[in-house]
Chains A and B, each alone.
Chain A
Amino acid sequence: MALVKISGLERHYQMASETVRALDGVDLEINEGERIILLGPSGSGKTTLLNCLSALDSPTSGEYLFSGNKVPKNESEAMTTFRRENIGYVFQFFNLLQDLTVLENLLLIQELAGSRNEDRARNLLTLVGLEGEVDRFPAEISGGQQQRVAIARSLAKRPRLLLGDELTGNLDSWTSSVVMEVLVKACDSEGITCVFVTHDESLVQYATRVIRIDSGKIISDESGGGNVPSSTPLRTVG
């Protein structure tokens, strides 16, 4: 059974002079374990799709099933609960909480999800190569390291679907590849399904599936560059 099943999804925004069809009848199925890259020009609707997938936004019409269950819409708390139980999210600008250490950023998410597990948090930080930085504040580490903390944070509560919006958009290409390698490795080891939005065509090498979107519609859906061997060593970025 597909983890995500979307059919006829529409999201319209009422502007002053017109109605913008950000999503215009999207049909999509995502299976467990897939790593999908969403590509498209600005204004194509890829971020709106990501927002609907994460239940941050409610579609105007259409159906969205997650593990066969309807995803709540237009109910703030129910949508929040859905996110908490199922979704991990990685931002372009990391958005780590500056008052908490690296480790505490992970523990906070676990506490909010109702199950603090420090061992798991430490293991995740080891997985992303940051075992030596656990007690540092975000401002004391580099951008690449912060993004790896953000990835570990998004995995800390064992989400079933990990979403990322331009998650390497703030990093140089070398650091981007390191982060993506870490992400792929972590998702593989945790068995987490991923959907990433990006402009960067070079990232398709990390995807199992590449979906192109334009004017609110899926215009292509094809296999990606494949898998990264799990034996690839992680490099520490400075």
Chain B
Amino acid sequence: MLILLNKRLARSMMRSKIRLVAVVAMVVVAVFAGVSFAAYAHTVSGMYDEIYEDSENAVNLPDLWVENPSGTWDGETSASLCEDLASNWPDSDLVLSVCEPRLRLDGTMFYETTEAGEQKEKLVPAVWHGIGEGSIDRVWMPSHHCCSGRVATEESEIVIDARVATGMEISIGDSVTIGAGNGRMNFTVVGIGLHSNHLYYAKDGDLFPAEPGTFATGYLSSEGLERLANMSSGSSNLLLIDILGTPDYNLPSTDEDDGPELTLITEAMDEIISNSVDSPSLIYDRSQVFSVEILRADAEGAMLLSYVIMPLGIGISGSSLGAILGVYLGTPAMLTFYEDFMGIPILQTAELGQIVMQIVVVTTAVVLFSGILPAIQASRLQPLEVMRGEHEIRISSRKIQKITSRLPATAGLTIRSSIRKPARLTFTFLAVGLSMLLFGSTTLMMSSMEEMTVGSVEDDQNWDIQSNVLSGGEDEVIQWADDKGGYHERIITFPANPINDSRVISAIGMEVLSTESSALIQLDLKEGKLPEAGLQTNQILIDEGLNHFLGWETGDIQTLVFGSTPAPVEIVGITQGEMSRTVYFNRPDLAKIVGLEATAVLIDLPEGIVADSDLGNISLLVIEKEDLISSYESILEQQQSFLGSILFLGILIAIVVLFNTLIINLSERDREIATLRVLGAPMNRLGWMMFGEHLAIGLIGGVLAFAFTLVGTQAMVSSFVQWSFYMTVSADPVVAMQLIGIVVFISVILTPYGMRRIRKMDLVEKVKDLSQ
């Protein structure tokens, strides 16, 4: 009996092949996406712990950093600071293991390139580390094709970052020309590796990875970097503190502290260093390092969640195919993209068996659950009702009838039959909404990111070159700019933090604070007014991220701490568009606080004048606006292929979901359509009815999809915005139109299939059915 029933069921399913294919396709897509994203998230989230650990093959990430943002300590000071820390270390469970002075300088790589057949020297912004062999925060050279060679031990040797080696085609044994504000020197490449500061290979403050050839980092011996910068032996601007063991600190969050023990140590260190040196120092913990990674992990979590939800309501039969595609196609593709995009080698993939099992089991459970209701309904059917066809009869909604009673009967029928099964329709809209959430949120985020990166630099910034200088080095750069007939403004960028809060704010002192489009940097003032200079209490602007995280408002008097120097400030306005936390001062006000006249010079050059080697020689690093824009554009373009696949998946799911629902709608209405055909309904009239129905479903689905997108993207953004990265998402009408347009298009494009199905209908057979 059971075998016969199963045979009958199987044959019945095979009769409606298209429907079967649509259901299987839904499962395949869902499981494929689930496996791919889950494997990706599991692999990526675990890899950093292995890189940071204190072992032979890892880097031994420091637990605390002490930074001198305004200059360097000489060898004697560096050594005495470590001695003071060791001798005055507070009584705590956290025991000091190592204190290592380290020199890290901004600089330039002089890179020979060929543009339009012409040999040209390009000034590439760079960061140079004096590391040598080091016991903390070592150069990471894993057994992977990315890396090779050895660390720099001689003063003429350098290890080049793997992304630079690939991007600029540099190999071991090559000679590279670099500078750090004191002329240029040649170094021999002895290794290719990676460093914890630059695992996410982006310039300081940038959200996107640097485009090959636009940013360089290198790891020299301590002596090598001292020689390059013409500094005395033992000079440093960083103290790396390693605490015994690997304490499980409270990792970064924007609102919570980093654990009472660590806070105690940080405060004690602050006191020790303030007593030892005059220059302001900045102490921070791992939270600053992890911020970018956490940002990524949260985004993946949100994506993962949406893809774990997707299998709901989808059948089981495609699980295997979806899992195979996910394991052999989706996961490798996503991990390869991650390796390419981030430039970090993935040494070990997450255990896929468990992930596949989880997703398949969830899908299976959902399918079983979905099958239970029809089975219960079938078992309760009364044979006589079935024979009379009464089991199929549902009384239409009187409310809907009243609403549509003034419409032509054809329109009324279209509307009422579309919403005949509201639960299924709701699930369709829900599924379309969720699948398009992926598309919509990606598009919306891309549009916001593009606006914040390319848009803000291209439209709001009118400088051509930013030349970063050491203290007092600005005069030479200004002279250079004057010689070239350029307009220039000095700026100061200096780290600060709120009182009793170690999170870093970038304080920017500008010569001209302006909202005019002609300003070198045009501020987007959300509220308030521009600060006046020279007042008793310095007036400042804060970015909206500070307003969000600290609750600071216009009119507030707050205290900013520069190293150990507190400075009361009056907030007179809030700006928008900054990704990292920023406050704007009038430059003279900030200069008084930090004791520096400039950290960089912004230059607007006449047409045809570009940065040259002279500028490179007198600058710490040179940033060209065009490079910055092309770098952003290139990264956004690079992301397109990856995001394209996400968009494709979203659309694919929407197609499958809509196709499935519309097919079921159609097949359920065979009887109705056959009746109409027998009674003489022309194809074009039925076609228009179907088109209207699909259009309505598409429009409603599209609007709901956009609503889902807005809510979902806001939720996603609010889950991953944090101190070092803040953004807002607004309802972009272009994205709304795109989204609604796509859903409508998918829905309407299925009309011809429905028409074909009606055309192929055998009316003689249907009349037999209708008469039986």
Contacts and interface: CB of A to CB of B under 8 A. Distances in A.
A137 B409 CA distance: 13
Contact of A81 (B388, B405, B682, B768): B682
Contacts of A91: 675, 678, 767, 770-771
Interface string B387-412: 01100011110000100010011101
Contacts of B672: 97
Interface string B409-422: 11011001100100
A89 B767 CA distance: 11
B413 A98 contact: no
Interface in B664-717: 671-672, 675-683, 685
B401 to A, nearest CB: 6
Of the listed residues A85, A95, A105, the one surrounded by the most CB atoms of chain B closer than 10 A to its CB is: A95
Nearest to A112: B681
Given A57-B764, A112-B410, A139-B393, A97 B675 contact: yes
Interface string A103-127: 0110111011100100000000000
Nearest to B408: A111
B393 to A, nearest CB: 5
A113 B413 contact: no
B676 A112 contact: yes
B681 A80 contact: yes
B417 A80 contact: no
A44 B692 CA distance: 43
A166 B677 CA distance: 19
Given A91-B675, A91-B771, A100-B416, A137 B682 contact: no
A95 B393 contact: no
A15 B675 CA distance: 27
Given A51-B767, A91-B770, A108 B680 contact: no
Nearest to B414: A99
Contacts of B296: none
A234 B559 CA distance: 96
A95 B412 contact: no
Contacts of B682: 77, 80-81, 84, 112
Contacts of A100: 396, 409, 412-413, 416
A93 B680 contact: no
A73 B592 CA distance: 98
A76 interface: yes
A104 B409 contact: yes
Contacts of A54: 678
Nearest to B419: A99
Contact of A99 (B389, B416, B676): B416
B683 A77 contact: yes
Of the listed residues B679, B759, B772, the one surrounded by the most CB atoms of chain A closer than 10 A to its CB is: B679
Contacts of A92: 770-772
Contacts of B416: 99-100
Interface residues of A, number: 42
A122 to B, nearest CB: 14
A89 B677 CA distance: 11
Nearest to B417: A99
Interface string B516-554: 000000000000000000000000000000000000000
Given A112-B685, A137-B396, A87 B680 contact: yes
Interface in B402-460: 405, 408-410, 412-413, 416-417, 420
A93 B410 CA distance: 22
Contact of A111 (B409, B683, B770): B409
A160 interface: no
Nearest to A104: B409
A153 B742 CA distance: 40
A98 B396 contact: yes
B409 A108 contact: yes
Given A80-B680, A97-B672, A99-B416, A116 B408 contact: yes
Contacts of A93: 389, 770-772
Interface in B641-682: 671-672, 675-682
A65 interface: no
Interface in B366-406: 388-389, 393-396, 401, 405
Contacts of A154: 679
A131 B383 CA distance: 33
Contacts of A87: 680
A84 B681 CA distance: 7
A29 interface: no
A165 interface: yes
A83 B678 contact: yes
B21 interface: no
A190 interface: no
Contacts of A81: 680, 682
A90 to B, nearest CB: 10
Contacts of A57: 763-764
B680 A112 contact: yes
A101 interface: yes
Contact of A166 (B417, B675, B683, B771): B771
Contacts of B768: 47
A200 interface: no
B687 to A, nearest CB: 12
A76 B678 CA distance: 11
Interface in B603-632: none
A170 B390 CA distance: 13
A80 B413 contact: no
Nearest to B671: A95
A3 interface: no
Shortest Cβ-Cβ A-B pairs, 4 listed:
A84-B680, A99-B416, A108-B409, A107-B409
9 contacts: A51-B764, A80-B680, A83-B680, A84-B682, A98-B394, A100-B396, A100-B412, A111-B408, A112-B410
Interface of B: 388-389, 393-396, 401, 405, 408-410, 412-413, 416-417, 420, 671-672, 675-683, 685, 759, 763-764, 767-768, 770-772
Given A95-B671, A112-B682, A137-B395, 18 more contacts: A54-B678, A56-B767, A80-B681, A89-B679, A91-B771, A92-B770, A92-B771, A95-B770, A97-B672, A99-B413, A99-B416, A104-B405, A104-B409, A111-B410, A116-B408, A154-B679, A157-B680, A165-B767
